[in-house]
Structures are given as C-alpha cells and as structure tokens.
Structure 1
Amino acid sequence: MTRAFETLQSTFGLTAFRDGQQAAIDKLLQGESVLTVFPTGGGKSLCYQLPALLIEGLTLVVSPLIALMQDQVAALHARGIAAARLDSSRSGDEVREIYRQLRSGELKLLYVAPERLQNSRFLALLQGLHIGMMAVDEAHCISEWGHNFRPDYLKLAQLARDIGVQRVLALTATATPSVAADICRQFAIPASNHIHTGFYRANLALAVTPCRDADKLPLLLRALQVAPGDASIVYVTLQQQAESLAAQLQGAGIRARAYHAGMKPEVRESIQNAFMAGEVSTVVATIAFGMGIDKADIRAVYHYNLPKSLENYMQEIGRAGRDGAASRCELFACPDDIRVLENFTYGDTPVPQHLDALIGHLLSLGNPFDIAVYDLSNQFDIRPLVINTVLTYLELEGVIAGTGPFYSTYQIRFELPQAQLLQGFDAARAEFLQRVFASGKQGRIWLTLDVTHAAEALGEPRERLLKALQYLEQQGSISTQVKGVRQQYRRLQTPDLAQLCGRLGQLFARREEQSLSRLRQVLDYAEDAHCLPAQLCGYFGDNLTEACGQCSSCLESGARSLPTLADAAMSAAQQRSIDSLIAEGQEALRHPRQLARFLCGLSSPATFRLRKHPAYGSLSAQPFQQVLEAVERRLGA
C-alpha cells in the first residue's frame, strides 16, 4: 500500500482515499477478487484505475456506458496513463491500432462494452495476453435478479475464467443483499471481500409529495423557481413527455432542455455539455440521462413520474449533491403513473407461442448457423433484447455456443485500379480475387459484396474471403465499410424441445412478476410514513440506526396516503373498439396478448407499421391485465 499511496498523490493528485477505497485496493493488490458497493459518486473508478498501474499486465474494464468510457479515457490520457476504449464509435483504423497496442503491451487499461466480448477475433487476442484484472462496472447487470439485467453480462464470469483473468473487481451502486450474493457467487468473490460503505448520504433531503397528475407541473414550477439557477434533473418516463415538459418549463422562464434516447447523439451531447457548463439549469430527462455524468453541484433531482424500481431511484437521486452540499430529492407520488410502467413490463414479455416457435426455429437451423437478431425480432414479434436473452440462456444451458458476430455485407472502395492491385499477386491468387470482385455489385464508388452469398457462389470458405479483404485493406489497396451484423453459433446438443421451451417460458413469466413487484415496492416506499432514508437503506441491507430528521416523513406528523388510482372501468365504447379491431383480422394481431399490447399503446416489431391506426393506444389508461382479459373473453381464448 506504500506504492499505492505514492501513486494516489503523484498520479491522481489526491492526498487520501475515500471510505472503502483503500480496503478494496489493498485486497486487489494481494491478488484477490472484490465486490465494491459504493453510492453513486463514491469513487468506484479509482478502485481499478490505481491498482491497474501497479498490477502486472492489462486491466480490462467492462462498461455499458460509452460516455463514461470516453470521459475516463480522456482523463487518464491527461494524467499520462496508457488507456484506450473499444466501442461502436471507433473506426477500423482505430481498432487496428488498439489491437497493435495490446499485442505490444503498451496499454495498461482497456475499456470495452460487454458486446465486444462476443467477438471471436477479439477474444482470441485476449487469450494471448496477460490480464491482471477485469473490472466490471454496473455489476448488478450480471444478476438475473437485478433491476437492470443485461444478457451479455451473464456470460462475463465464465469469460473471465476462459481468458485467464487474475482477479476481478465488480462495481455497483445498487445491489440488494441477494444481488450482491449472486455477483459474489458468479465471480467466486469471498463474502469478506464484499466491501460496501453504506447507502445513507446525509446531505440529501428526501421528500415524497402525494399528488394527482394535474398537480405536478405547479409543484415542480414552485420548487424550481425558488432557486432558478440551480442545476436540477427532472426524471420522466416517456420521451414525448420530456419534450413537452421542457417546453412548459421554458415558457415559465426556466433554462430547461429535454434529453432522451430518441435524440441524435450529437444533440444529446450538446445538451449534456450545456448542462455541465451551466448554460442549461434544468434537464428534463428519461433514464437515458445521468449515467456517467460527473457533475458535482446538482442541487436537486425531481421524479415527475414514479421510478421503475427502488434501485433505479437510488441510482438517480445519487446524482445530486456529489460535492457534499445540501441537495433536495423529491418524488411526486402519483399512483396513476403505475399504468404506463406496468405496460412497459408487459410489453417485454413474449407471447408464449412465439417464444416456442423461436426456440424451435433456432434448433432447426444447420450447424453451424448464423442469425440476424432484428430479422428474428420481426419474424416472431419478439423485442430484440428478449431475442438476445433467449440466445444467452441457450448458451448457458449448453445448447448452443456463440462463435462471434460477423458482418454480412462489405462495401469496398478501390484505392488502386483493379488491374494494378491484381499485379501484386501470383496467377492463382489474382484469379481468386478477380472472382471475388466479380461476385459483387459495382456502384459509382463502392463495390457491394454479400460475403456469405459470395462464398457459397464461389465454393470457398467465408473466412478466406474475409482474410483476403482484411489483407488488402492493411496494404492500403482498398477501403471497406461494413453493415448487416449477424451472430454465428454452433449447436452443441439437441435437448427436449418441450422441456426447454417450458423452462424459458417460466423464466420470462418470473421476470415479469419481479418487475411488477418492484413497482409495488416503489408505491409502498412512497406511502410508508417511516424515515425515507431508513427505508431505502433497509431495502439494500443497510441499517440506519437513527431517523434522518430531515426527510418529509421525519418532518411531517401522521400517516401519508397517496391518491387512489383513477377509475379503470372500461366503457361500452372502449369494448366496442376491441370488437372492431378483432373484426379487422389483422395478421399481426392474431394473439390476445398482441391485441392487448396494441390497444395499450405498446409497439412490437410486428405492429410497428400499424402505429397510426386509431385503435393504437386507445386503452392506454386501462390496466393491461384488464384489457387482456377482455380480449380473451371476446376471442374465446
């Protein structure tokens, strides 16, 4: 630890470790794996950046956040630390240079998205390197019991073993005891190496304000106008709502902007930069905003709509007051919000028959086989994330094994005349290249080549074509652009189809119930009159021995009650609209669950083109289960 203290001062310009950092770094330097559960802004990144400089070999950092990777790599470069990132924004030349730096041992830290670890060429490179540590950011995503499960994370523990990682550091701000135990089990982290610093932050004053939907805007305006220049985040559920609410705040003189995933990346970046610089005081955002934002002086976080879970809520309020100064976190508790959030959950659950058909289709393909996720999504009316989850579970069950993604289509631009290019090869190789080029479609500038079809037509392995194109590009003879990503798999066994479909069907049904249960926990939290920080700490397995004395529960006397849910009785006109839609006999709406999703305004791959239909979303104010039951009665299902 003497060297660690010296590095802390000389490289990072700090004089002391924060709570928990020293214990984590000490265990890592001893070669042990660690789980750190620190609050948002608690200094998790130093726990791998500092030991990476003292540990032999490469530190591989797995993160789902491109913005975070960009910011951290830029900061490390400013400190003279050899770091790089591999993500979807990198060009072919940049990727090749990073691969060269990896082979030469020049890099100390490499940041990657979890999807990059599905690339067989990249994995082959990693297996030839000495990887001293793998840091897994947002590690709660690895747990199927977590609130933000991501299929690619499930395979990280096995991958760490496959590529010979010496030690693992798992990092998260939101892990319940069961999720933390799951992370430790998967990465073989001893219970004694689960380091958490407590979830209570005394500078955050938490408030719950029961209200109806019509009350929210006046309440928010009143709160913002008390300190109109303070940096604030307002969280909403829907992208359209972010736009409309930001416009209303602007009309009231608030320097507000909307932010959501539907915006172009350059627009999102400009809004984020303006907020960081203080040119925008309030960002009205979906959950797309805030991940990786390192702004210390956010004075308030308002939840205009209910959060999806207490984990989401804890993560989002954690963006306030990182400078330690007093900050306010207010939740406008309107039970009517629960309808939209429940519907999102129901929209993610596949129709059981469609799920069975997808699994049967995958197991009927040749061996090896390749698929395009978006093609399957449209074919079986299942969202892409769910398709990826199915593929991941088939891998974990040992039914299939992924051999990596590849691009089906290459666009080739010749930097040399073809005749001159071919002169550099013997007759056999020149003839092969000539046949390859002839199998493509020449445009004004680019030759478009479907590699799989070309390989079949030429009777050659696809790998030979790819190696030839890669060699020509390395020589500067051609430039390429790629599109049409496909995933390739090998089938390892032929399981009992009915049993396999049954297990996966139960998995998705269980995940749906877990998501609905998390929504109910948010309402329970809002309605409970006990100290709010004590409730949150208890949920995450931490004990707050004394009430905070400053939250709305502590400052108010007596019970807190939320407004009752709006009457959800279905009118005769709404029931007739169901009958009318059924009578149309739309091919994409044959199953009761498809019809119910459509009526509740939940788009799916098969119904995307029907979104302008007058019935789309006509019953969005109704509970999904009530609409589903009404549809099933009419269909006799």
Structure 2
Amino acid sequence: MPEAYNTLRHVFGFEDFRPGQIEIIDQVLQGNSALAVFPTGSGKSLCYQLPALLLEGVTIVVSPLIALMKDQVEFLQSRGIKVARLDSSLSSEETKNVYRDLRNGDLKLLYVAPERISNERFFASLEGMEISLLVIDEAHCISEWGHNFRPEYLKLAIAAKALNVGRVLALTATATPAVVDDIREEFDIPPNAYINTGFHRPNLFLAFSPTEEEDRLEVLVNRLAATPGGATVVYVTLQKTAEILAERLTERGFLSRAYHAGMKSDLRSQIQDWFMESEDGIVVATIAFGMGIDKSDIRRVFHYNLPKTLENYSQEIGRAGRDGLPSHCEVLGGSQDLLVLENFVYGDTPQPQSIEGFVRYILAREDVFDLSLYHFSKQTNIRPLVLSTLLTYLELEGILKFTSPFYSEYKFKYLKPKAELLSRFQGEPGQFLRDILSLADEKKLWSYLNLDTAVNSLSVERARIVKAFNYLEENGLLEVGVSGLRQGFRLLKRPELQETAAMLRDKVQRNERGGIDRIQDVVTLINHEGCKTRYLLSYFGEDLKESCGHCGYCKTGATAKLSPPAEELSEATLSIVRQFCEKVGDKFESSWEAAKYLCGIASPNTGRTKDKAFGSLETAPLRLVEMALLQATNEL
C-alpha cells in the first residue's frame, strides 16, 4: 500500500503505523466495513483520517465528543486538510459556511454528533452526495449490553443504508465479546475486518486501596506526596465532590482545579487547556473530563470514588502513560461509593405507573404523530435518555417507527432587503418563495414561520421548504434559526396496552440488573485474589496467560477487600427522613420520588435544586430511604 505509506509520512508526519492501523486501513480501502477495538490513545483516528484522503467523496465522522471534534479538526486543518465540524458550539455564520462547503464538495471530512444524522436539514444536505465512509466513534454505544447504550446509535445503521454509504468504520476503546458481536451484526462487518489489538498496558501499575470516606483525603495526599510527580487526574462521582476535593488539595499545596459538566463551557475549555500545558497539574474531575484528551504524559490516575464500570475504569486509566513511561493508577473508593452508584442505576428505572402512562399515550396517537421529547419527559416523569430508550424499544418491536426529527418553527432574518431577495428568483421558484415568505409572521428584526402551517397552506412537501431555507442561508440571503424540536413517528400497530407495558418493564428491569451487575464487576476486580491486570483483561475476552508482574497483587501478594455497605439506616439518617416528611407533607407524587430527591437524583418533575434537602442523603441506599419515608408518613 505505497500510497497509504506516502500519505502517512508526508501528511501526518509519521514513519510507520501503530499495531492494527494498517490492517484496518487496508480493509477500508478495499471497500469493507470494519471494526477497530484499540485501547485509549493507540491511534484510532488515523484509521479513518488517512483513508478519507485517498477515497473519493466525503467522510462523515459521528462522535458524541465535542472536545474531540474540535481538537481533531484543528489538527487536520494544520495539515492543510479540508475538514469541518457541525455542533452546537458553532455560530450561525460558521454553520452556514460548513453547509456551503459541504454542498460545494470542498470537504474531505465532516465531524458531527450522532443526533445530527437524523436531523432533517442535515439529512437533506447529504442526499445525493458521495459519502465514501461513515465513521462511528464510541461504537459500543450501539449495544444494549454495553456500559453506555445510546438509543440514537441504533439509527446510524438505518441512516447509512438510506444515504448509500460506501462503507462503515466502527471504533471503540472498550468492548466485551457480546458488544463486539452487536456492532459487527449491526454494520455487517466480516470476521477478518474486526481488529482488536488488546488492552494490556505493561507500563501501568494498577493498585487498589479501598478506603473509608473519612480517611480518603489523607490517603490521597500521602499518595500524591509519595509517588513520582507529573500531570494527574483524580476521578470522582459527583460534581460537588470535585469542587470540594480540588479546594482541599489546593489548601495542602497542590496545584489543583476541579472540572465537571456543570461548569460553563468556556471555563471547562480554560481548565482543559491549562491541564494540557501543565507538567504537574492535578484535575479533580467527573467522567466528563478526559474523553478525547490527547496528553501523553499523564503520570497518575486516581479513582477517589469507585469507577462506574470496568469499561469506564479501563478507559480512564488508559489516559495515563500514553508515552509508554511508567504511570501509577490507583483506586481509593470505598463501600460508601457503591451506594451512590447503585442509587443512580435504581433512580434511572421508571416506575410501573410511568411506563403504563407512556404506553397508553403512544397507543392513543394517530397513525402519524410527533412529540416534543422534553415535554413528554415532564408529562411521564421519565428522564429524557430513558424515554428515548423506551421509544427505541417500541421501534425494535415493530410498534412504531421513528421518522425525521424536525423543528416546528423557523425564524429568519433578512441579510438582503426582501425585495432584492425576491427579485433573484423568477418563474415557479420565485412564486414558491413569495408564497412561503408571505406566511411568515414578520417582527421588527426576525420573522417566524410555522412549518406545519406552510406545508398545509401550500400543499407542498416539507423537504422542499427545508431545502429552500438551506439554500437561502448558504447563499447569504437569510440568517436562519430553529425552535420547537419535535420527533416524528409512525404508529405501525396497536398491541394490547398491558402486554406492551409488561414488555417494557421487563426490559428496563433487565437494564437495571445489568447496571447493578456492572457495579458488582468492579467489586469483584478489587476483591479478586490474584493478578488484577489478568482478571481485567479476561473481562474483555483477552487471556494474558500469566500474571502481569506490575499490579498491586503481583507486587505484594495481598488484596485489600472492599467491605459491603451497611444494610440499615443510621439514626441520624432516619431523623432527616422524619423531619423531611413533617416539612414537605404530600409535595411529592410518591415516596419513591421523595426518596430520589433526598438521595440527590433529579427527575423531570423535580429537577435539581439548591434546597438543602436535595441530596442530603446521597450516600444512603435509595430503597431503604423509600421504606423509611413510607414508615414515617404512616406515623404522622
């Protein structure tokens, strides 16, 4: 493959490929769909960036990570490659320029979020284009057996067929054998086009020191002082913990900053840039940090709280020592963390009455209908991601079909005088445009058009109106905005209500069990009497054959056990529950909702709040708190 090697050297500046890269690139250039399971930091992105330059047409890269998109676009642009991204952080002018370059065939790569693929404006822009390669980053999200199932990923295979995509490349850093099977089946990937380079990182020292919460800060400070310095990531579960711990470490003389999804994007970018340039900075972060971070000299990764899953753990320690030098990875989390993690799993599971209300509403719709998922979430009191998952289950059962999401209203501002704009179009196109604009509600600066009204009034296809606005925006005649996102559906059959509700209850309960089992997998690793590295690799289907020699067990022959959490509530916790009942009365629709509130789990109907009661029992078992609430209510 001389052309691939020439491109590697002259465009990307590398002398040779890393393990697995040339095999995947060869499959893609032969026209095959492929799956690359490579550890974090092992060069997955080159597997599509290089072929994209050798293939005709455009390569679409689907990634949920805006930070990764931004970094890779800047890198490729620095190499003179025509590349762009479409995400929510772009201005309307920047978005317009991307669509123009896409339509003119000026792009070799375009990065988008998974939700963008089913957006009607974007889909209309892609129709008829030559898409040589569709790249699915974080491909494990397509599998219900994975640790991070995202229902919108299930639609990517459908979109690939609808757009006549040449081939698909799926990428992930973590996939169990069951997840690999799901990905391969979804995208018709043959056995010889699946490349797994293995997860073993001999330069990482894995230690497990489960520590009670009250002692954990001192243990962390001692570890930071005792282990060789360097850039460090300390992972925590809660945003509040990130801020408190960063402050405590700063007081102890460490250069430390917090990072979590609750911060404004500008501040997150500032902290990320600071960390990238720092030689010994410490970031105390939730899992929002690190995805797509390409820093080779992270020397230490601590888990102050337990990781959510072994997949999360593998990804997070994989950010250490990418330069191949020795790096220290240690778990300090203790039994209290188990309760927080389990609470979030239980808190995601909809109550039976919510599921029944969800099914009743759907089956009562007309054959073609649409929903605002935001308002439907409030109506059913089911969290948006869980709601999307339930709708996807109905689609997989053949009960309904997703159609394109759409915006109920376009707002637009004239960038040229209206008369001048209209004068550019003659004949039927000109009349069509006059008819559209005449239906808009013109305000001082912006005009507003309800698309349903326009479709019904003019008896035209919605797609034509969408394409017209795309054209006017791309040519600098209008600035266009959208509002009122709605998801379209087609109801295919109307099964019996109770039977359908029971089917969904079984699925969400299975997901709940899977979530709890994945937490238990973390406990099993910590308590395992043997080589930790070998056990971790076996989880991902890899047999190390012998002990690693570079984990805590191999060095000491000892295992510090993670003790089970307390199975009853303390008197102090029961007192908080009783006071809460006396104060709020019947404010909540159920004791379960009240228990979630006390444990810090937001629901669509309660949201997050600064009320001191919210999250006051975040380390208490959710189900025991519910039982205590029921008892306290009965006693009042």
Contact 2:206/2:330 (CA < 8 Å) preserved in 1?
yes
* Aligned CA distance change for structure 1 residues 146 and 575 (closer, same or farther; 3 Å): same
- CA deviations 1:302-344 (Å, max 9, x no partner) are 0000000000000000000000011000100311111111111
Range with greater deviation from structure 2 (145-154 or 522-531): 522-531
CA shift at 1:417, angstroms? 5.7
Contact 2:232/2:280 (CA < 8 Å) preserved in 1?
no
Provide the residue aligned with 2:589 in structure 1: 590
Provide the residue aligned with 1:98 in structure 2: 98
Contact 2:59/2:132 (CA < 8 Å) preserved in 1?
yes
Structure 2 unaligned segments of length 5 or more: list them: none
- Which letter maps to 2:72? Q
Using structure 2 for the length normalisation, give the TM-score.
0.91
CA shift at 1:602, angstroms? 1.4
* Aligned CA distance change for structure 1 residues 296 and 429 (closer, same or farther; 3 Å): closer
Contact 2:235/2:303 (CA < 8 Å) preserved in 1?
yes
Using structure 1 for the length normalisation, give the TM-score.
0.91
Contact 2:204/2:321 (CA < 8 Å) preserved in 1?
yes
* Aligned CA distance change for structure 1 residues 449 and 105 (closer, same or farther; 3 Å): closer
CA shift at 1:397, angstroms? 3.0
- CA deviations 1:166-204 (Å, max 9, x no partner) are 222211111011111111121121233321111110100
1:621 maps to which of 619, 629, 636: 619
3-state SS of paired residue (1:369) = strand
Range with greater deviation from structure 2 (463-472 or 56-65): 463-472
Question: How do residues 131-150 of structure 1 correspond to structure 2 at under 5 angstroms?
Answer: 131-150=131-150
Provide the residue aligned with 1:175 in structure 2: 175
Range with greater deviation from structure 2 (101-110 or 27-36): 101-110
Contact 1:259/1:268 (CA < 8 Å) preserved in 2?
yes
Contact 1:548/1:554 (CA < 8 Å) preserved in 2?
yes
Alignment of 1:295 with 2:298, yes or no, is no
CA shift at 1:158, angstroms? 2.5
- CA deviations 1:548-570 (Å, max 9, x no partner) are 22211112234432345246335
Provide the residue aligned with 1:199 in structure 2: 199
Provide the residue aligned with 2:310 in structure 1: 310
Contact 1:534/1:543 (CA < 8 Å) preserved in 2?
yes
Contact 2:61/2:136 (CA < 8 Å) preserved in 1?
yes
Provide the residue aligned with 2:604 in structure 1: 605
> Partners of 1:413 and 1:269 in 2: how far apart?
31
* Aligned CA distance change for structure 1 residues 366 and 23 (closer, same or farther; 3 Å): same
- CA deviations 1:133-166 (Å, max 9, x no partner) are 2221111111010001111111222322232222
Contact 2:124/2:463 (CA < 8 Å) preserved in 1?
no
- Which letter maps to 1:608? G
* Aligned CA distance change for structure 1 residues 567 and 144 (closer, same or farther; 3 Å): closer
Provide the residue aligned with 2:575 in structure 1: 573
Contact 2:577/2:625 (CA < 8 Å) preserved in 1?
no
> Partners of 1:600 and 1:145 in 2: how far apart?
27
Range with greater deviation from structure 2 (140-149 or 471-480): 471-480
Provide the residue aligned with 2:497 in structure 1: 497
1:436 maps to which of 439, 442, 447: 439
Provide the residue aligned with 2:324 in structure 1: 324
> Partners of 1:176 and 1:430 in 2: how far apart?
53
3-state SS of paired residue (1:210) = coil
Provide the residue aligned with 2:358 in structure 1: 358
3-state SS of paired residue (2:607) = helix
How many residue pairs were aligned?
Answer: 629
> Partners of 1:231 and 1:291 in 2: how far apart?
16
Alignment of 1:48 with 2:48, yes or no, is yes
Contact 1:370/1:489 (CA < 8 Å) preserved in 2?
yes
Contact 2:120/2:406 (CA < 8 Å) preserved in 1?
no
Contact 2:339/2:565 (CA < 8 Å) preserved in 1?
no
3-state SS of paired residue (1:267) = helix
> Partners of 1:353 and 1:293 in 2: how far apart?
42
* Aligned CA distance change for structure 1 residues 574 and 446 (closer, same or farther; 3 Å): same
Provide the residue aligned with 1:164 in structure 2: 164
Provide the residue aligned with 1:512 in structure 2: 512
- Which letter maps to 1:518? R
* Aligned CA distance change for structure 1 residues 476 and 201 (closer, same or farther; 3 Å): closer
Contact 1:118/1:402 (CA < 8 Å) preserved in 2?
no
> Partners of 1:461 and 1:334 in 2: how far apart?
59
Provide the residue aligned with 2:6 in structure 1: 6
Range with greater deviation from structure 2 (191-200 or 481-490): 481-490
> Partners of 2:489 and 2:417 in 1: how far apart?
38
Structure 1 unaligned segments of length 5 or more: list them: none
- Which letter maps to 2:550? Q
- Which letter maps to 1:126? L
> Partners of 2:447 and 2:125 in 1: how far apart?
30
> Partners of 1:420 and 1:58 in 2: how far apart?
34
> Partners of 1:474 and 1:558 in 2: how far apart?
65
> Partners of 1:421 and 1:555 in 2: how far apart?
75
Provide the residue aligned with 2:251 in structure 1: 251
CA shift at 1:478, angstroms? 4.1
* Aligned CA distance change for structure 1 residues 37 and 568 (closer, same or farther; 3 Å): same
- Which letter maps to 2:578? R
- Which letter maps to 1:590? E
- CA deviations 1:65-86 (Å, max 9, x no partner) are 1111111122112222222222
CA shift at 1:298, angstroms? 0.4
> Partners of 1:56 and 1:470 in 2: how far apart?
25
- CA deviations 1:39-63 (Å, max 9, x no partner) are 1011111111112222333222111
> Partners of 2:115 and 2:184 in 1: how far apart?
22
Range with greater deviation from structure 2 (375-384 or 306-315): 375-384
CA shift at 1:475, angstroms? 6.0
Contact 2:578/2:629 (CA < 8 Å) preserved in 1?
no
* Aligned CA distance change for structure 1 residues 481 and 96 (closer, same or farther; 3 Å): closer
Question: How do residues 523-602 of structure 1 correspond to structure 2 at under 5 angstroms?
Answer: 523-566=523-566, 568-571=568-571, 573-574=575-576, 576-577=578-579, 580=582, 584-586=585-587, 589-602=588-601
- Which letter maps to 2:621? P
Range with greater deviation from structure 2 (107-116 or 144-153): 107-116
- Which letter maps to 2:116? R
CA shift at 1:216, angstroms? 1.2
Alignment of 1:403 with 2:403, yes or no, is yes
Contact 1:56/1:132 (CA < 8 Å) preserved in 2?
yes
Contact 1:400/1:493 (CA < 8 Å) preserved in 2?
yes
CA shift at 1:103, angstroms? 3.7
Contact 1:297/1:321 (CA < 8 Å) preserved in 2?
yes
> Partners of 1:280 and 1:480 in 2: how far apart?
46
Percent identical pairs in the alignment equals 48
3-state SS of paired residue (2:209) = strand
> Partners of 2:431 and 2:15 in 1: how far apart?
66
Provide the residue aligned with 2:114 in structure 1: 114
